Amino acid sequence: MNFDELGLSQKVLEAVRASGYETPTPIQAQAIPHALAGRDVLGIAQTGTGKTAAFTLPMISRLEQGRARARMPRTLILEPTRELAAQVEEAFVRYGVNHKINVALLIGGVSFGDQEAKITRGADVLIATPGRLLDFADRGKILLTGIEVLVIDEADRMLDMGFIPDIERICKLVPFTRQTLFFSATMPPEITRLTEQFLQNPVRVEVSRPASTATAITQTLVKTGVSPEEKRATLRRVIRGAENFKNAIVFSNRKRDVQVVYRSLEKHGFSVGALHGDLDQRARMAALDAFRNGTVQLLVCSDVAARGLDIPDVSHVINYDAPHHAEDYVHRIGRTGRAGKAGVAITLATRLDAKNIDAIEKLIARKIDWAPGEAEAADDAPEEKRPEQRSRGRSAAGREPRREEERREPRREEERRERPAPRSRRPEAPATAAAPAPRRRQREDLDDAPVVGLGDHVPSFLLRPTRLPRVTAD
């Protein structure tokens, strides 16, 4: 199929040609004609499939008719993170070169004033993270009653981040008659419920992950000691010894470790940047740009910051920490091996990671081999942690139970922090049966929570129950 067969306008087709695309990807071929016909679309697709163009191209065609009014954007795209929002903005710049489209970005970490000025002038396209958008709406700075097309992107990610109550509120603020384009990589029950509530007779379009992601990535484990010093030394060894190395994204489970690993690599003379939620927006974009354009070779990231980012040419992904959640592994390694290129994913594995690695192997339905020379070294590991003795069948259910505060904390700290104090406190959506608790906790939130006492580092002797001397009443 060709792009000209999809029903896009001539000006959009010219922009597509200028982008160098020859044929539409499956999600584009299937979704664009329906989107142009005004149908609601439920797209089950992940980043890398071309889904951004699948919604931006028909939106631009549609925006050719009509004009934006002050404070009343015509279309709204919801993204879970600032980086993804910025990435979609870039797509509008690229595909909208032949149009005069006013795009406004409503994300945290950027001054309210500039954003407000853009919205006041009138935006054709508003790209927003849910928290900042609701702040604007609650302050009466924006009216969503003119929205013709609503895009909800990365819905399962929104769920992970506790944004579903916000999405529900936003869906109620936009007109009932709007068109909704909804994208999610997976369809857990909470997301299905959301689509049943807010989509009208949608066309369901499902595409598999790009084949290159699964097949072109060499995945290995590298044994390391548990201490941060040992892990950092192993990381340096891995980077220095990596074959066909061009650049690498290094994933850490915690924000504070991102910073520590980043500083350590910098100290050891590596060309490195960092990306995590504590950095202000400018620093985040600068780090990303530096990595994209090759100014730095390494980017140390947390999962939230890096999810869904489109960085086309990453030779290596290194998991400084084995992720606690198997799905994160899939998302992480999907940063390499893109666009048909070969990729390498290396995971540092301590003797404490056996359970996480079992869960990953179960999810990806394959065993991850030890890097050459590593298996022998791993024989030194304590008895039950030896790699070959790891139970292959242990289920992901064997994970640590969620901590109480994790269940209680639905919203990502990063997003909450990025909001300025509201004039009047916005009531949180009630936790009713219709708004289930988020599927899983936010480890980044935990990471940012103020540490009480010694935090996780309480020496075990202090945790032993104290035996008090028996006092007899006399």
| Residues making contact with ligand AMP (CB under 6 A) | 21, 24-25, 28, 47-53, 310, 312
Q: How far is the CB of 204 from ligand AMP (least distance, A)?
A: 18
Q: How far is the CB of 51 from ligand AMP (least distance, A)?
A: 5
Nearer to ligand AMP, 48 or 58 (CB): 48
Nearer to ligand AMP, 30 or 52 (CB): 52
Cα separation values, 200 from 147, 148, 397, Å: 16, 14, 35
Give 400: exposed, middle or buried? Use CB within 10 Å, 0-12, 13-18, 19+.
exposed
Q: How far is the CB of 437 from ligand AMP (least distance, A)?
A: 30
Nearer to ligand AMP, 79 or 418 (CB): 79
- Using N-to-C axis directions, what is the helix angle for 164-173 and 130-138, rounded to 10°? 50
Nearer to ligand AMP, 47 or 219 (CB): 47
Q: How far apart are CA 308 and CA 331, in angstroms?
A: 8
Nearer to ligand AMP, 87 or 234 (CB): 87
DSSP 215-251: HSEEEEEEE--SSHHHHHHHHHHHHHH-TT-S-EEEE
Contacts for 96 with CB less than 8 Å, ≥ 6 apart: 15, 56, 60, 103
Q: What is the DSSP letter of 203?
A: E
Q: How far is the CB of 308 from ligand AMP (least distance, A)?
A: 7
Q: How far is the CB of 77 from ligand AMP (least distance, A)?
A: 12
Q: How far apart are CA 276 and CA 228, in angstroms?
A: 19
Nearer to ligand AMP, 168 or 310 (CB): 310
Q: How far is the CB of 429 from ligand AMP (least distance, A)?
A: 30
The torsion angles phi and psi of 182, rounded to 5 degrees, stand at -125, 125
Q: What region does 337 belong to: left with phi over 0, alpha with psi -120 to 50, or beta? A: left
Q: How far is the CB of 312 from ligand AMP (least distance, A)?
A: 6
Nearer to ligand AMP, 293 or 460 (CB): 293
Contacts 24+ apart (CB under 8 A), 449-457: 449/405, 449/413
Question: Quick one: CA torsion of 55, 85, 300, 155, rounded to 10 degrees?
Answer: -60
Q: How far is the CB of 103 from ligand AMP (least distance, A)?
A: 16
Q: How far is the CB of 140 from ligand AMP (least distance, A)?
A: 34
**Residue whose CB is nearest to ligand AMP in the complex, by number:** 52
**Strand order across the 248-251 sheet:** 272-275, 298-301, 248-251, 316-319, 343-349, 217-223, 369-370
Burial 103-139 (b: 16+ CB within 10 A, else e): bbbbbbbbeeeebbebbeebbbbbbbbbbbbbbbbbe
Q: How far is the CB of 453 from ligand AMP (least distance, A)?
A: 44
Nearer to ligand AMP, 33 or 50 (CB): 50
**Greatest Cα-to-Cα distance within the chain, rounded to the nearest angstrom:** 98
Contacts 24+ apart (CB under 8 A), 393-397: 393/362, 394/355, 394/358, 394/359, 394/362, 395/359, 395/362, 396/326, 396/359, 396/362, 396/363
Nearer to ligand AMP, 13 or 375 (CB): 13
Q: What is the DSSP letter of 366?
A: S
Q: How far is the CB of 185 from ligand AMP (least distance, A)?
A: 10
Cβ 180 vs Cβ 202: under 8 Å: yes
Nearer to ligand AMP, 49 or 115 (CB): 49
Nearer to ligand AMP, 71 or 331 (CB): 331
